[in-house]
Amino acid sequence: MSGCGMPARDHVVSHLSDGELDHARRELAASLALARPDSPARVPIEAQLSAIDAEVAGRAASAVLRVCGCGLASDDDAFFDGHLFERPGHEERDLGRYVRRSAG
């Protein structure tokens, strides 16, 4: 229970796709812009925005950029694998030397 007698809520957004997160963030930002500065309605909106921002930041930190020999780069595995499947002559570049260099 929170201090004001209301149950605390976890704002779980990890099940949402990137597009759904973006849409939800835009909707919440619009709601926040319409709420008065002293309105108690701002508290849950800000909490949900914070949860979305944390999820987006976590996804960005864990994203791995993949690069094709043709120069195409993506952090979307399904898109990149589809690119390689549709173009049998293309190969993924090994970026290991850059990862080792930046870590050291």
Chunked mean pLDDT (size 10), the chain, 104 residues: 54 87 95 96 95 89 86 90 95 81 54
55 shares a domain with 70: no
Cα 38 versus chain centre, distance: 30
Token pair 């500065």: residue = 37
Report pTM.
0.57
51 shares a domain with 39: yes
Measured between alpha carbons, how far is 43 from 93 in angstroms, rounded to an integer? Answer: 47
Number of domains in the chain: 2
Residue 49 belongs to a domain: yes
77 shares a domain with 58: no
The boundaries of the domain holding residue 92 are 66-103
Residue 12 belongs to a domain: no
76 shares a domain with 53: no
Residue 11 belongs to a domain: no
Token pair 């690119």: residue = 83
25 shares a domain with 56: yes
pLDDT value for 2: 46
Residue 2 belongs to a domain: no
CB 54 within 8 A of CB 71: no
pLDDT value for 61: 75
